Structure 1
Amino acid sequence: MMWFRSAFTIFCLQFLLWLTCLSSTGHAEPGNQFDSNGVKIHYLDQGQGEPVLLVHGFAASGVLNWSLPGIIQSLRKQDYRVITIDNRGHGQSEKPHAPEKYGVEMVGDLTRLLDHLRISKAHVVGYSMGAFLTCKMLTVAPDRMISATLGGAGWPRENDPRLNLMTDLAQSLESGNGIVPLLRALAPPERPLPTDDQLQSMSRLALLVNDPLALAAVARSNRQLLVNRSSLEKNKVPVLGLVGQLDPLKDSVDALVGVLPELEVAVIPGADHDTAFTHAQFKSELVEFLAKHRQAASSANRRN
């Protein structure tokens, strides 16, 4: 049950950090907010240098995906300006319940945040759902990207058999049954599946810091993020696919090979979807890739 213990520990760390910050500051993550087409978006902006925008996964937050594993700290040591967004429906950002408020609007949040910060281009790093958002951004706003990193997921494509999962997930959330369908789908097939009671425990803990109806709306908007092959074949942005060997979503990264120009792929041995971003190799591969594509800092990308 190593998968269950690892994932459960990550969720526990998120929840404990959230409680600690809540008691000491009155809110979970100190930072800033801006209006993104009528929705308040929370973000953190740290450091100086070439900008890196970090985009987290479903039912997560900036602190879970990027702060707890030490990724923000690793990037700041390399003199990057690190910007962490709480996607709408997550973290401290506003959580509308209408599906039309999500989908491509979530990609729009990324470009509008860059506009708000007066940043012309950034390295964009996404994990899981954040990787799907980053892949979509490659096709709608490639001029805003220095590079793209697709962590834990790759190509959101029409023929993906998991598309129906998002409908099941939305229905589960709307009926009060949590994110169990997603947890079950992301369990490594090479390992024993956690029991229903264990999955329910993880789901309940995740929902202590999430709005289930907002997450359901995110899930129902999923098809808006689909990307066609011809759009990817035109890509000129350097891309890193960074995924765990045991991640069930690894096939969405593999599918990009031979389709997406400028693609590199790095696989983390023994890692799964819930643990890959906690591995030292995740940080080292990311730092190495960003360094290869670092540009001379321009005034447009510096903090004002």
Structure 2
Amino acid sequence: MTVRTETITARDGERLAVHKLGEGRAVVLLHGLFSEANTNWIRFGHAQRLVDAGFEAIMPDLRGHGSSSKSHSPAAYPHDVLVRDAFDVVSGLGLADFDLVGFSLGSRTAARAVIEGLRPRRLVLSGMGLQGLAGWSRRAAFFLDAIDRFDSVRHGDPAFFAVSFMKTQKVDRVAARLLLQSVADTDAADLAKITMPCLVLCGAQDRDNGDPQALVDTLPDARLVEIPGTHMSSVTEPALGEELVRFLSA
């Protein structure tokens, strides 16, 4: 099945590439930091599993990533711009009834968008724990440091794998740095606004964004499912797509 790509123009005129696969009930999938739709959702078969189950996978490349705009102007990265972009994708595609899935930064964006009023039928926060939402500034500082020390990081450095992934993905570091500075913390009390059924889906060895059970305990209607893997490897596991299908088909 062929991936269809179209461009949504965000409210500030920046271009957002949106990749689609299949026909059926819409599932919007938001990828992680330094990644893009193909790496998170297409390459390892997760989008195809959704399509085979009767869904349409709608996969934006986040601003600063993939085929979307990578402006070097600070004006293109206002506070919570990814949340604003999520609203623009949903409205630009005319989606009235849809599910929402995020991984890592995509989960943080999905949660913030729901807090701000986006209303998917069901929500999946994958690769995420409570501290990745309520303590984002510490996580962002790690990646900003990795960008700043990009050329000097060697094997054994805590930032080595982040830098290696940036190299593999050919990340635009200027755009990535500006985007990271636009991302804000989430007040844990605001998580009570996420009232739809929510799946917290996390690798059994993934605690990069904190404790997933603590996140479940904070949400009104959530459950935790663990799959094999670390933060980096869990996206390669067939179980990720299988659990998405299971939860969204309920």
Q: What is the TM-score with the length of structure 2 in the denominator?
A: 0.87
Quote the residue 1:22 is aligned against.
Answer: none
Over alpha carbons, which structure has the higher Rg?
1
Q: Within 5 A, what are the aligned runs for 1:115-126?
A: 115-126=91-102
Deviation at 1:240, TM superposition (A): 0.4
Quote the residue 2:236 is aligned against.
Answer: 278
- Supply the distance in 1 between the matched residues of 2:195 and 2:162 (Cα, whole angstroms): 43
Q: Does the aligned pair in 2 maintain the 1:167–1:220 contact within 8 Å?
A: no
Aligned length: 244
Quote the residue 1:76 is aligned against.
Answer: 51
Question: Which amino acid in 1 is paired with 2:216?
Answer: V
Question: Which amino acid in 1 is paired with 2:24?
Answer: G
Deviation at 1:85, TM superposition (A): 0.3
Does residue 45 of structure 1 match 2:20?
A: yes
Quote the residue 2:87 is aligned against.
Answer: 111
Does residue 138 of structure 1 match 2:138?
A: no
Deviation at 1:91, TM superposition (A): 0.1
Higher helix share: 1
Question: Which amino acid in 1 is paired with 2:58?
Answer: I
Does residue 216 of structure 1 match 2:184?
A: no
Q: After TM superposition, where is structure 1 displaced by more than 4 Å over at least 4 residues in a row? A: 196-201
Q: Within 5 A, what are the aligned runs for 1:134-283?
A: 134-143=110-119, 145-155=120-130, 156-158=132-134, 160=135, 163-174=137-148, 176-177=150-151, 195-196=156-157, 199=161, 202-203=164-165, 205-206=167-168, 209-223=170-184, 226-249=185-208, 251-269=210-228, 271-283=229-241
- Supply the distance in 2 between the matched residues of 1:154 and 1:200 (Cα, whole angstroms): 19
- Supply the distance in 1 between the matched residues of 2:33 and 2:166 (Cα, whole angstroms): 15
- For the residue of structure 2 that corresponds to 1:135, the secondary structure is helix
Q: What is the TM-score with the length of structure 1 in the denominator?
A: 0.73
Q: Which stretch of the first structure deviates more once superposed, 105-114 or 125-134?
A: 105-114
Quickly say closer, same or farther: Cα 1:150–1:200, change in 2 above 3 A: closer
Question: Which amino acid in 2 is paired with 1:85?
Answer: P
- Supply the distance in 1 between the matched residues of 2:205 and 2:75 (Cα, whole angstroms): 33
Could you tell me which runs of 5 or more consecutive residues in structure 1 were left unpaired when the two chains were aligned: 1-28, 185-193, 293-304
- For the residue of structure 1 that corresponds to 2:218, the secondary structure is coil
Question: Which amino acid in 2 is paired with 1:275?
Answer: S
- For the residue of structure 2 that corresponds to 1:97, the secondary structure is coil
- For the residue of structure 2 that corresponds to 1:82, the secondary structure is strand
Could you tell me which runs of 5 or more consecutive residues in structure 2 were left unpaired when the two chains were aligned: none
Quickly say closer, same or farther: Cα 1:201–1:133, change in 2 above 3 A: closer
- Supply the distance in 2 between the matched residues of 1:44 and 1:60 (Cα, whole angstroms): 14
- Supply the distance in 2 between the matched residues of 1:257 and 1:281 (Cα, whole angstroms): 20
- Supply the distance in 1 between the matched residues of 2:204 and 2:71 (Cα, whole angstroms): 35
Quickly say closer, same or farther: Cα 1:249–1:199, change in 2 above 3 A: closer
Percent identity over the alignment? 25
Q: Does the aligned pair in 2 maintain the 1:170–1:217 contact within 8 Å?
A: no
Aligned-pair Cα RMSD in Å: 2.5
Quickly say closer, same or farther: Cα 1:47–1:34, change in 2 above 3 A: same
Q: Give CA deviations for 1:270-293 in whole Å, capped at 9, x if unaligned.
A: x1001112212212211110011x
- Supply the distance in 2 between the matched residues of 1:205 and 1:275 (Cα, whole angstroms): 17
- Supply the distance in 2 between the matched residues of 1:273 and 1:168 (Cα, whole angstroms): 15
Q: Does the aligned pair in 1 maintain the 2:123–2:198 contact within 8 Å?
A: yes
- For the residue of structure 2 that corresponds to 1:138, the secondary structure is helix
